[in-house]
Amino acid sequence: MPVESLFARLEPLLARVNKPIQYVGGELNSQIKDWDDAEVRWALMYPDAYEVGLPNQGVQILYEILNERDGVLAERTYAVWPDMEKLMREHGVPQFTVDAHRPVAAFDLLGVSFATELGYTNLLNALDLAGIPLEAADRTDEHPIVIAGGHAAFNPEPIADFLDAAVLGDGEEIVLAITEVVREWKAEGRPGGRDELLMRLASSGGVYVPKFYDVTYLPDGRIQRVAPNRPGVPWRVAKHTVMDLDSWPYPKKPLVPLAETVHERYSVEIFRGCTRGCRFCQAGMITRPVRERSITTIGEMVEGGLKESGFTEVGLLSLSSADHSEIADIAKGLADRYEGTNTSLSLPSTRVDAFNVTLANEFSRNGRRSGLTFAPEGGSERMRRVINKMVSEEDLIRTVTTAYASGWRQVKLYFMCGLPTETDEDVLAIADMARRVIQAGREATGRRDIRCTVSIGGFVPKPHTPFQWAAQCDPRTVDRRLRALRDELRRDKEYGRAIGLRYHEGEPSIIEGLLSRGDRRVGKVIRAVWEDGGRFDGWSEHFSYERWVACAEKALADEPVDIDWYTTRERDEVEVLPWDHLDAGLDREWLWQDWQDALAEVGVEDCRWTPCYDCGVCPTMGTEIQIGPTGKKLLPLSVV
């Protein structure tokens, strides 16, 4: 059955919306494959605005991998802004892909990548605009299989009712495995309909199908049990780990948008996973073990990616980029290779370490040395022991002294507020640290125009981390501590003007906490918020705390639980957590022990350089640490 392009119906609406280019597609390296030639068709969604979603690495990688396969077609769709949504509803234009403007409901699968829980209302809006029933139970054989991935999918329970399936971990291999299952099932004439397809996916052990699991609750609201409700469905669903990054060098042909987006650069993941062991960091826990991409592949990807895109900036991505075993050679090699070509290199996510200043100097050889960012995360030494961020104040001062002495004028320091066991003094210690930083900068340079910006985020406990049992700090306490810190910074005229403070109110973090550690009952809240007009919860101008609170009160009125129960309540060791049946490889006992160690302010080393401490991931998942050095160097390009 031919599927028509919706563009002719969309076009008259484009003249009436803001930034119409975001709905038009036509990005360099995007592709449109023949509908009828494809046996399996994926719509890939990043549930945020195009300007945020387009650069997303996960979606770009899957898009390219799928479209490289014969008989497989993948197109992209993003959340539409309210002005466009209104016109689409008025004119009956459904959710569309930006590639060929095909209706999302016509695809076999809708894959949604959740980097954050704040995209949940946008999922509901897209399903509704697409004409796909919101609840998976109401879908028929005609509707796409709605499948979630991304870090938030490690606890998909709050959106379980809206999903047909969820996938944990690296997507490269499993997306093709799912495609094969769908292809076979379609080729056989769709035996058993939607349920059999989901059963085939679930029985593999690598795809979580929520409706095949029943959740029962205790009278006090805690979960009693999560159990499969039919034979052939595994008790636990495991995450996926790609074990050779060099054999998956994507994106090779990055999408280059016409519209302006949040990241305008070619990004290469230089390794996956992190074993630094920061206890607040969900990404570090769920992406273990560390797997490096080799310096040779990185060099080839940068060369190819720049040629294919015309970008002028390269980002070397990872959770802690300076930890790559050959980062010095990579930095110098790339800086040499692209010297004089107006190509800039960036290294996000670096630790507090003087070595990183050397790297940053290498990356900015001919450019302006404007700002460097470091993340001590906790203001006091004690706090940093709790979160296992092993940075001493002396390390930090040494690092910033090197930075200011090398010509950097501004240092940004990133912290969290509301961490477990935190006291007012821990937060006020940030002010002392910032003053010492300015003092060190003035001494190192003899100048007064040294600046330091303190940026503070609210801590949200996340599933699959040692802090998954912790009580989230209530927003009033967070706000009070932040105000006290602001007053403390302002009090001192000698330093006050040199120190900037950026922070957010504590309330949005509570909603993020609700969605992060929620169970299936939270789905009713999400739906109520969407029905009340909630969209784009990651955007402060669209997010409404009051709406979330009001909807939660109504939706949970008949339940023994409320927002506080999900967020500011500490859990004990035996409580069944909503995500216990989802396996990130981390040994539950190890996580609990690490939580106890946090309370005792005991640190843990990085297993890359010290013996294994049995977090459980490698033996459970059959994986191992993959690090260099390879001893290879980057070769200069023959033609630049």
- Contact footprint for another protein (CB under 8 A): 5, 7-8, 11-12, 14-16, 19-21, 23-28, 32, 34, 100-101, 256, 258-260, 264, 306-312, 340, 342, 366-368
Cα–Cα distance for residue pair 87/9, rounded to 1 Å: 11
132-to-55, 103, 106, 301, 363 alpha-carbon distances in Å: 26, 11, 10, 38, 48
**Smallest separation (angstroms) from another protein to the CB of 110:** 22
Which CB atom, from 14 or from 549, has the smaller least distance to another protein?
14
| Interatomic CA distance for residues 106 and 612, integer angstroms | 49
Q: Closest approach of Cβ 99 to another protein, in Å?
A: 9
Nearer Cβ to another protein (15/557): 15
Q: Report the nearest approach of another protein to the CB of residue 503 (Å).
A: 29
* CA gap 21, 613 in Å, rounded: 51
Minimal distance in Å, beta carbon 32 to another protein? 5
Distance CA 613, CA 619 (A): 12
CB of 449 or CB of 624, closer to another protein: 449
3-state SS assignment for residue 228 = strand
3-state SS class at 229 = coil
Tokens of 253: 């042909």
Which amino acid appears at position 89 of this protein? R
- Alpha carbons 469 and 107: distance in angstroms, whole number: 40
Nearer Cβ to another protein (176/637):
637
Report the alpha-carbon distance of residue 613 to residue 633 in Å, rounded: 33
Least Å distance, CB 66 to another protein, is: 18
Q: Shortest gap between Cβ of 84 and another protein (angstroms)? A: 12
- Residue 389 tokens read as 């961020």
The pairing of strands 145-149 and 582-583 is unpaired
For another protein, which is the closer residue by CB, 5 or 421? 5
Q: Which is nearer to another protein, 100 or 621 (CB)?
A: 100
Other C-beta atoms closer than 10 Å to the C-beta of 190 total 13
The label of the residue with tokens 């940075």 reads 391
Q: How far is the CB of 95 from another protein (least distance, A)?
A: 18
Alpha-carbon Rg for the chain, nearest whole angstrom, is 25
> Alpha carbon of 67 to those of 62, 253, 354, 489: distances in Å?
8, 12, 43, 53
Closer to another protein by CB, 107 or 338: give it. Answer: 338
Q: In Å, how far are 56, 390, 465, 574, 603 from 589, measured between CA atoms?
A: 34, 23, 12, 11, 17
Read out DSSP for 312-353?
Answer: SEEEEESSSGGGSTTHHHHHHHHHHHTTTTT-EEE--S--S-
Nearer to another protein, 306 or 387 (CB): 306
Smallest gap from Cβ 412 to another protein, in A, equals 19
Q: Shortest approach of another protein to residue 4 CB, angstroms?
A: 11
Record the tokens describing residue 159, joined without a space: 């959106």
- Which is closer to another protein, CB of 206 or CB of 305? 305
> Whole-number minimum distance, CB 87 to another protein, in Å?
11
Residue among 364 and 626 whose Cβ is closer to another protein: 364
- Show the CA angle centred on residue 311, arms to residues 305 and 314, nearest 5°: 70
Whichever of 19 and 442 has its CB closer to another protein, that residue is: 19
Helix axes 522-531 and 545-555, enclosed angle (nearest 10):
130
Residue 201 neighbours by CB distance under 10 Å: 25
CB of 73 to another protein, least distance (A): 13
Closer of 19 and 633 to another protein (Cβ): 19
User: Closest separation between CB of residue 388 and another protein, Å?
Assistant: 39
d(CA 598, CA 220): 28
